[in-house]
Chains A and B, each alone.
Chain A
Amino acid sequence: MVTPNRSINEIRRLLMWLALALIILLAILSIWGAFKGAGWSQWFFNSPPLVAFWLLLTILLIAAILAFPRLRGKFGLLAMHLGCVLLLFGAIWGSQQGHLLQKSLFGSTKVPRGFMIIQQGGSDHTIVSENQQPLVNLPFSLYLQDFRIEYYHNQPGKLIAQLADSSKKLASAQPGEELLPGPEMPKIKILRLFQNLQISLENGKKIITDQPQTGENPALEIELTWPDGKAENRYIFAQFPEFGFINNNLKLTYALMVRDYLSEVEVKQGDQTIKHQIIEVNKPLHYGGYYFYQSSYDLQHGRYTILSITSDTGLKLIFTGCVLLCIGLFWQLWLRHLITYCVKPSKTRTKNEYGD
């Protein structure tokens, strides 16, 4: 006859083996995913079989907490396992499938991710997909006051000549520097550096000036001397690479190290401004259940900004879980022993102090 204690022990052992098997399987899948690339992994780890895997892992963790008194009795062990449960639950809740579930259960209109393209001096409230299909309209709008790029100016940039076969030649972006990209190509000479190139018209004549105090539009004035002796002057802009196409075989780029991309926006409800923020890399705007990130901009004329948007659903659970996991690990593997070490007089310490 099987005693209850024996069967409970067998269940615990089975849970441990199952945990070990799932950990090994996930490690193998991670390595496989690393070889296949981020796009494939994103799809694969969100596919229905993997959703089942994440659910199984969550259930296993809950079962382990219930089955092992040690996991409930020791703060560190409980915190790390509970942390994993919260993390997995938050990740499932905030995933594409989680958003679909919330839509069918509660009629939620939130989308997990998307983009917003806002013209300078204009506002928008529609989240669009990567191919610019409208996904959802927000109950508020974002008004773009200004978009700008800041550069490092303490080191010279590079003038890059890219040929049709994708080969590249570089020159330091300093006046007087010369570059010959290839035998049938023009000789390139850098004439002048601009921190903020501005074009104005005076009596119908184009006047080009550098106004570093008023903004940033770094550019190079170059002289192209073709093999037949013809010479012409051109401008190459750091912010607008589209202007760098000289012909089908040659593209010039002024590469200057970017310090930051900034979109100055206002959150508006009707005519009322609710919030004002400069969205930068590492400083997203959090409003209305979404995070708005600086993602890209108009490469041709710099007239609009592109913000990427992600839903905040599940994030609090995920980060609470992560913090709990770390607190549990540090308590269980570090602090417990540190306290014992500090409390015990040094003369009575042994090499087996850590209960290996």
Chain B
Amino acid sequence: MAIKYTIQGFLIYMAMAGYLLAFFLRLAGRAKIAWPLYGIGFALAVFAFVYRWLHVAHIPMQNLFEVFLLMGVLLFPLSLFCRNILCVGAEGADMLIGIVILIPAGFFFAAQPQQLPPALQCWLFAPHVAVYMISYVLMAKAAVQASALLILNTSPNARLCDYESGAYRMVCLGFPLMSLGLLLGSWWGHLAWGDYWGWDPKELWSLAAWLIYLGYLHFRYLFGKKYPRLNCLWVIAGLIAVIITLLWVNLSNLFAGLHSYAA
């Protein structure tokens, strides 16, 4: 447990409070008040991210604390985009995801500022991490849609697409970004370590996650919406692989490798 009695910590806790209040108001059916609160939570998360950036004097995407903070920032604009452009809802779940993402940043991961080691001083560092984090948030949203289909017996709001299509749209949005992240990582590996692919545990888990979503897209092409529950299981399996890639590989001693500094 690493409670942060700092301005940084205060901003994160306030952002979490904004997301939490928005979530409860959304549950209570007060969407009109929930959205502005969600927006305030987002603004505070942006402040926390910018504050961190100024504090460490480099783009804060170096360790788990910083990437979780980044994901906490990304949720609101992605929620807005998905609802208004792609007709994929579940912003109540997004608010909850926002809290779940910010909890480890606020209470568990250490926030000591660190200098960038030589390998991270590359222009590919920020785009590689950023596209991966955006894709991870989108895959989390896909898994929410998939779980809704498996757990709930209701249909979403008439303005929105059904849960199965929602999951598919989220994967279609996130998968190219995940592929771009893989490409940028491979290019960076070539520049830094002399290997575009190092068979490192994190690389292998990220490949496994990519392959699960690739399998899902082929399966859905083959059967369409004939087996909606199986489609949803692919999407949930993909998110499990993403969580392992992001967390377990970095936090467990089981997977020592080149990416271990990311913890």
Contacts and interface: CB of A to CB of B under 8 A. Distances in A.
A309 B193 CA distance: 10
Interface in B133-175: 159-161, 164-165, 168-169, 172-173, 175
A329 B177 CA distance: 9
A291 B191 CA distance: 9
Contacts of B188: 282
A53 to B, nearest CB: 13
Interface in B205-263: 205, 207-208, 211-212, 214-215, 218-219, 221-222, 225, 241, 249, 254-258
B256 A37 contact: yes
A33 B199 contact: yes
B53 interface: no
A259 interface: yes
A108 to B, nearest CB: 20
A308 B194 contact: yes
A258 B193 contact: no
A45 B193 contact: no
A196 interface: no
A319 interface: yes
Q: Tell me the interface secondary structure of chain B in the complex.
A: helix
A282 B161 contact: no
Interface centre among B180, B191, B201, B249 (most CB of A within 10 A): B201
Is the interface on chain A under 10, 10 to 19, 20 to 34, or 35 or more residues?
35 or more
A356 B256 CA distance: 41
Given A281-B118, A325-B183, A326-B179, A38 B191 contact: no
Contact of B254 (A35, A293, A341): A35
Contacts of A27: 207-208, 211-212, 215
A214 interface: no
B110 interface: no
Contacts of A259: 115, 118, 121
Contacts of A152: 115
A284 B191 contact: yes
A307 B226 CA distance: 56
A16 B222 contact: yes
B175 A333 contact: yes
Interface stretch (A17-25, A176-184, A197-205, A266-274): A17-25
A152 B114 CA distance: 11
A33 B161 CA distance: 39
B205 A30 contact: yes
A40 B254 CA distance: 14
B194 A326 contact: no
Contact of B179 (A281, A329, A351): A329
Contact of A38 (B85, B168, B175, B200): B200
A20 B234 CA distance: 12
B192 interface: yes
A31 B205 contact: yes
B194 A113 contact: yes
A295 B191 CA distance: 12
* Interface of chain A: mostly helix, strand, loop or mixed: helix
Nearest to A152: B115
B249 A34 contact: yes
B176 A23 contact: no
A282 B179 contact: no
B194 A26 contact: no
Contacts of B118: 258-261, 280-282
Given A308-B194, A315-B190, A356-B165, A326 B219 contact: no
B169 A356 contact: yes
A354 B160 CA distance: 13
- Which of the listed residues B160, B202, B204, B214 has the most CB atoms from chain A within 10 Å of its own CB? B204
Contacts of A309: 194
Given A30-B207, A113-B194, A257 B176 contact: no
B222 A155 contact: no
B119 A282 contact: yes
B187 interface: yes
A42 interface: yes
A23 B211 contact: yes
Given A27-B208, A30-B211, A356-B161, A281 B119 contact: yes
Contacts of A222: none
Contacts of A282: 118-119, 121-122, 188, 191-192
Interface of B: 85-87, 115, 117-119, 121-122, 159-161, 164-165, 168-169, 172-173, 175-176, 179-180, 182-183, 186-188, 190-202, 204-205, 207-208, 211-212, 214-215, 218-219, 221-222, 225, 241, 249, 254-258
20 contacts: A20-B222, A23-B214, A30-B207, A34-B201, A34-B204, A34-B255, A41-B199, A280-B118, A281-B119, A282-B119, A282-B121, A282-B188, A291-B194, A318-B196, A319-B196, A322-B182, A329-B179, A341-B85, A354-B86, A356-B169
Given A37-B201, A37-B257, A38-B200, 18 more contacts: A20-B218, A23-B211, A23-B214, A26-B207, A26-B211, A31-B208, A38-B199, A38-B201, A258-B117, A260-B118, A282-B118, A282-B119, A282-B121, A282-B192, A283-B191, A310-B195, A322-B187, A329-B176
Which 8 residue pairs of A and B lie closest in terms of their CB atoms, listed nearest first? A41-B199, A281-B118, A27-B211, A34-B204, A356-B165, A329-B176, A351-B87, A30-B208
